[in-house]
């Protein structure tokens, strides 16, 4: 029996409200978050596993976006729903929830943990006869391997994925985008641009693809800028930010990512104050939403380089300390960071990712 103090209608209304463009989770009163917590506690007290899965399902649109996934309450809801799916032996739901959990871990920078979760999700999807969903979870491990510096493994995963996806399948744009990142890592900027444009043309064919397109445009703006086409790069960044502006509050991490890349372009052009302005905006977008350390260390690194160009050595040291602190939290190698800095700066491929 569902606990009597769980008001499903109220929860559904709240879920719809939280997912509305223009209303970021940070502007939601604490009392409304409390409604979710009280419902979860009541369902847990009754060990109502199906009810917990239902509660998590109501907030799928919010959790699928990248603003609120780091909030402790929503992480607790996610973890409790995963355990509920295990207890009820709902393999399809478990595979879905694990895939969503992997995305959230990856966004925050916990890439090793994300790989484990994605691999379990892929295995479960195979068990229930969902090979394409399995492939999607497996594909996501490539992003994690790259973030951990294992580009060879990332390339292997992407090659296997691309062999299984037709050239006319719009979803193919996703692995092509990551292939472009690897090409950029190696200094192959012309190839990276070609891959990003191909990815963009495919992603634009997908339904509800605005956020995918905005992210790829930000990558394209970065690569075009690195090749010296500054005006074109700025126009591409503006297209990306215009798309994200339609969803104000719901994709703050994506907006921060785009503004970070734009700030690096401005820094290289000597527009230091404008670069710092966009870095401050990027910081504001993500700092209040849990542990988005993977983006925060990149913002702090970019600040350090702007300050270095301005001759503000004390500020450089403070920001580099922040970079190292965030990366230690994520158990990322700082030796690897130093090597990437040298390699990428020599090759002219931007700051490490």
Q: What is the pTM of this model?
A: 0.90
Number of domain units in the chain: 2
User: Do 183 and 237 belong to one domain?
Assistant: yes
Q: Is residue 214 part of a domain?
A: yes
Q: Is residue 94 part of a domain?
A: no
Q: Is residue 265 part of a domain?
A: no
User: Do 243 and 280 belong to one domain?
Assistant: no
pLDDT tens digits for the chain (353 residues)? 556 578 999 999 988 888 777 656 566 777 888 999 999 999 999 999 999 999 999 988 877 776 666 678 888 999 999 999 999 999 999 999 999 999 999 988 899 999 999 999 999 999 999 999 999 999 999 999 999 999 999 999 999 999 999 999 999 999 999 999 999 999 999 999 999 999 999 999 988 899 999 999 999 999 999 999 999 999 999 999 999 998 877 788 899 999 999 999 999 999 999 999 999 999 998 886 667 888 999 999 999 999 999 999 999 999 999 999 999 988 888 888 888 888 887 778 788 87
Range of the structural domain that residue 191 is part of:
168-248
Q: Is residue 311 part of a domain?
A: yes
Q: Is residue 254 part of a domain?
A: no
User: Do 225 and 282 belong to one domain?
Assistant: no
> CATH number of the domain that 203 lies in?
1.25.40.10
User: Do 240 and 283 belong to one domain?
Assistant: no
User: Do 175 and 237 belong to one domain?
Assistant: yes
User: Do 243 and 194 belong to one domain?
Assistant: yes
Q: Could you tell me if 240 and 222 are in contact, meaning their C-beta atoms sit under 8 angstroms apart?
A: no
Q: Is residue 63 part of a domain?
A: no
Q: Is residue 212 part of a domain?
A: yes
Whole-angstrom Cα distance, residue 126 to residue 145? 22
Q: Is residue 98 part of a domain?
A: no
């Amino acid at each position: 029996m569902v606990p009597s103090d769980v008001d499903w209608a109220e929860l559904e209304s709240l879920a719809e409200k939280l997912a509305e463009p223009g209303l970021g989770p940070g502007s939601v009163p604490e009392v409304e978050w409390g409604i979710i917590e009280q419902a979860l506690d009541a369902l847990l007290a009754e060990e109502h596993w199906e009810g917990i899965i239902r509660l998590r399902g109501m907030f799928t649109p919010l959790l699928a976006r990248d603003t609120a996934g780091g909030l402790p309450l929503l992480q607790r809801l996610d973890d409790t729903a995963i355990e509920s799916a295990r207890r009820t032996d709902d393999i399809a739901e478990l595979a879905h929830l694990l895939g969503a959990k992997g995305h959230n871990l990856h966004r925050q920078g916990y890439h090793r943990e994300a790989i484990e979760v994605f691999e379990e999700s892929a295995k479960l999807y195979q068990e229930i006869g969902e090979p394409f969903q399995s492939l999607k979870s497996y594909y996501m491990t490539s992003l994690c391997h790259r973030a951990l510096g294992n580009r060879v493994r990332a390339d292997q995963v992407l090659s296997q994925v691309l062999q299984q996806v037709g050239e006319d399948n719009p979803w193919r744009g996703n692995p092509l985008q990551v292939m472009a990142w690897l090409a950029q890592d190696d200094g192959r900027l012309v190839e990276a641009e070609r891959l990003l444009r191909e990815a963009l043309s495919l992603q634009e064919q997908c339904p509800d693809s605005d956020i995918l397109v905005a992210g790829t445009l930000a990558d394209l703006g970065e690569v075009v800028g690195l090749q010296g086409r500054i005006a074109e790069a700025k126009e591409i960044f503006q297209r990306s930010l215009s798309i994200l502006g339609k969803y104000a509050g719901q994709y703050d991490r994506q907006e921060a990512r785009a503004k970070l890349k734009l700030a690096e372009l401005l820094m290289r052009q000597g527009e230091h104050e404008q670069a710092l302005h966009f870095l401050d905006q990027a910081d504001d977008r993500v700092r209040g939403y849990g542990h988005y350390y993977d983006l925060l260390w990149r913002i702090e690194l970019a600040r350090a380089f702007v300050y270095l160009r301005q001759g503000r050595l004390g500020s450089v040291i403070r920001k580099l300390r922040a970079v190292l602190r965030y990366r230690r939290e994520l158990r990322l190698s700082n030796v690897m960071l130093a090597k990437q800095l040298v390699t990428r700066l020599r090759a002219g491929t931007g700051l490490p990712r």
